[in-house]
Amino acid sequence: MSTDTSIYLHIPFCKHRCAYCDFNTYAGQEATIPAYVEALIKEIEFIGNQKPDFNVPTIFFGGGTPSLLSGPQFDSIMSALFSAFSISANAEVTIEANPGTISPAKLDAIRKASINRISFGVQSSITEELRMLERSHDFFTVIEAVSTARKAGFNNLNLDLIYALPEQTLASWQTTVKRVLELEPEHISAYALTLEYGTPFGRWASKGILPLPDPDLAADMYEWTMDYLQQSDYAQYEISNWAKNVENRQSTVTFDSFPEFACQHNLQYWRSLPYLGLGAGAHGYAGGYRYSNVLRIKTYIDRLTDSQHANLTFPLTPATVNQHRQTQRDDISDYMINNLRLVQAGVADSDFRSRFGSGLLDVFQKEMEDLIRAGLIEKKTSDGSEVFRLTRRGRLLGNQVFLRFVD
Ligand code: SF4
């Protein structure tokens, strides 16, 4: 059996397109959800007939707003996945959900469809900030959503937050983090707002209408978050991700030991391990390829409906529009950029050797020496292997570090 391979399914529907969002998602197309689900099942069956033998350790429904699908729609997608793949008995299966799009009945149905983790897009607890982001919920809806999820039996919840919003103060960010901790999530993600080209936020910022987030304040928010969550017993295992520290103390996070509630699906990405991307606009990394699917919903449905696709080999499907055969150099670059995000586990020389056949310093001696001298990377020894990881300063300046590993 070959390397475990995860599955990402993209659900590109939202009730409203938020002004800061550059994801592949569409508002006002909910009428096409049934046809989209049928097409997604066809893509699952297509790849299921071609795949090599592997186990699926994690499945992730991302979006868009996956929680717009009904319980029976999740059930039929999960049934297709169980028929097509060998899914691990304890697989982590996550859906992203907007707090305002769930009900007790829907969550019961989702739980029965073997989905065992929910990631709620909370973003802020402050009504004015949520309005500015054009999010349709308020924090009371979040409280209700978490309570409903607990009652439906979910014991693995992530709450997603965004900081460095225009006009956000350190105090308002602290209020959000403290309120969120009251809800006792197993996992917290906190990302700085990025102003994406092509979004209304990006356009308004370039015209000077939207105040840019202050980078020094953003750094203060990030540093405060690292300290506060650590004191609150959440282990930071990735630049922007924390997991409730149930058994593992922060000091015991090692190359292959993570907190119990670390997101197993995202660890697959950060460890540069393979995953299939299914659905409109999904990206995948498997069989030596990085590839992506067609963006538009209608074209995606048409491509899966018209089944004249003789010469496609794993992992490509009728929906694939971009494919890149990875060179070893591509894999090494991606590996460094992904693995260095794991702020405690870092990159182990022993793993690098077993993946690429040479020592880390044989390939990156100058880069590592420069980064260690600049105080951005530190070297430790763990289980007899040298481990390289970001320092606290390196976490703030991650992009400068990653650039050193790009050709
Ligand atoms: S709900 Fe999420 S995915 Fe949908 S438009 Fe807003 S930010 Fe983007």
75/113 Cα distance (integer angstroms): 5
403/391 Cα distance (integer angstroms): 16
Which helix (H) or strand (E) is 107 found in, with range?
Answer: helix 104-112
Q: Which tens digit of pLDDT belongs to each residue from 166-209? A: 999 999 999 999 999 999 999 999 999 998 888 999 999 889 88
Which helix (H) or strand (E) is 101 found in, with range?
Answer: none
**Total residues belonging to the chain:** 407
Q: Which two tokens stand for residue 251?
A: 């000091």
69/106 Cα distance (integer angstroms): 9
Which helix (H) or strand (E) is 29 found in, with range?
Answer: none
92-96, 272-276, 281-285, 379-383: range with lowest mean pLDDT = 379-383
Buried b (16+ CB within 10 A) or exposed e, 129-147: bbebbebbbbbebbeebbe
In a mutational test of the pocket of ligand 1, which residue from 11, 13, 14, 15 has the highest number of ligand atoms less than 8 Å from its CB? 14
DSSP code per residue over 309-328: -TT--TT--TTEEEEEEPPH
Crossing angle for the helix pair 71-84 and 33-48, to the nearest 10 degrees: 10
The residues near 257 (Cβ < 8 Å, ≥ 6 apart) are: 248, 345
155/234 Cα distance (integer angstroms): 16
Q: Do residues 214 and 271 touch, judged by C-beta distance below 8 A?
A: no
The residues near 240 (Cβ < 8 Å, ≥ 6 apart) are: 189, 190, 191
- Quick one: how far is CA 268 from the chain centroid? 10
Q: How many of the other CB atoms lie within 10 Å of CB of 102?
A: 21
Please report the pLDDT score of residue 311 as a whole number. Answer: 80
The residues near 176 (Cβ < 8 Å, ≥ 6 apart) are: 124, 125, 126, 129, 161, 163
- Enumerate the β-bridge partners of residue 347: 388
Q: Do residues 6 and 60 touch, judged by C-beta distance below 8 A?
A: yes
Q: Which tens digit of pLDDT belongs to each residue from 120-176? A: 999 999 999 999 999 989 999 999 999 999 999 999 999 999 999 999 999 999 999
Q: Please give the C-alpha separations between residue 176 and each of 94, 130, 167, 188, 261, in angstroms, as whole numbers.
A: 24, 11, 15, 12, 21
100/268 Cα distance (integer angstroms): 29
In a mutational test of the pocket of ligand 1, which residue from 16, 22, 25, 194 has the highest number of ligand atoms less than 8 Å from its CB? 25
Ligand 1 atom with minimal separation from the 21 CA: 8
160/404 Cα distance (integer angstroms): 29
Q: Which tens digit of pLDDT belongs to each residue from 298-348? A: 999 999 998 666 688 899 999 999 999 999 999 999 999 999 999 999 999
By alpha-carbon position, which residue is closest to atom 2 of ligand 1?
Answer: 64
Q: Which two tokens stand for residue 195?
A: 């102003």
Q: Please give the C-alpha separations between residue 286 and each of 263, 292, 328, in angstroms, as whole numbers.
A: 20, 11, 14
Find the farthest-apart pair of alpha carbons in the chain and give their distance in angstroms, rounded.
59
Across 389-400, average pLDDT: 96
Residue that has been written with the tokens 């956000």 in this structure: 168
Residues with CB under 6 A from ligand 1: 14, 17-18, 21, 23, 25, 63-65, 98, 121
Please report the pLDDT score of residue 251 as a whole number. Answer: 46
In a mutational test of the pocket of ligand 1, which residue from 11, 15, 16, 18 has the highest number of ligand atoms less than 8 Å from its CB? 18
Buried b (16+ CB within 10 A) or exposed e, 216-232: eebeebbeebbeebeee
Q: How many of the other CB atoms lie within 10 Å of CB of 265?
A: 22
- At position 329, the amino acid (one-letter code) is R
Mean pLDDT of the chain: 93
Ligand 1 atom with minimal separation from the 98 CA: 1
377/371 Cα distance (integer angstroms): 5
Q: Which two tokens stand for residue 200?
A: 């209304």
Task: Assign 383 a pLDDT band (cuts: 50, 70, 90).
Answer: confident
Domains and CATH numbers, the chain: 6-270 (3.20.20.70), 345-403 (1.10.10.10)
Q: Which two tokens stand for residue 351?
A: 């793993």
Q: Which tens digit of pLDDT belongs to each residue from 250-262? A: 444 555 678 999 9
Please give the backbone phi and psi of residue 319, each rounded to the nearest 5 degrees, phi first.
Answer: -85, -10
